[in-house]
Amino acid sequence: MNLARNDEGAPMKDFDQALRTAAPGTIDGAKLLTRFAYEQLAVPSGGPVGEHFEGFIPALVQRDGSHHLVAFSSVQRFKDEGRLGGEAVAMPVREVLLRMPADVGIVINPGSSQGFELGPDAIAKLRDELTRPHDESP
């Protein structure tokens, strides 16, 4: 597995750490989401969520004429943010992207310099990449 590395070359342990250590304006959201496909995102819900996602009400914002799902790079960041209140569902990046409707983008850590947004077209490309069989041969 390819691990993201910080400025000193040490492997970054998680998605949130990668965002915290990125220089302002240098975040490549698509690469990060792919690299950390199995890391947890915290996806806020407007109501209590059952074991099989019943009751899940996603937080959406408008960006450039399309809806974007709000998500946080960690459950702790969601709790620290506090503006949204309520609950958040922890899900791997890959699962979030594969469950999203085709016409929805994503905003990670909205309002933070340690965040980014990707439109629906970028999410569609990521979904294709995440579901494409990869050659395991050397």
- CATH number (domain holding residue 68): 3.40.1350.90
Give the number of domains in the chain: 1
In angstroms, the Cα distances linking 107 to 16, 40, 44, 56, 138 are 14, 15, 12, 18, 36
Query: What residues make up the domain containing 70?
Result: 15-131
The 10s digit of each residue's pLDDT in 96-129 is 999 999 999 999 999 888 889 999 999 999 999 8
Residue 90 lies in a domain: yes
Residue 137 lies in a domain: no
pTM of the model as a whole: 0.79
Residue 1 lies in a domain: no
Residue 3 lies in a domain: no
- pLDDT for res 12: 43
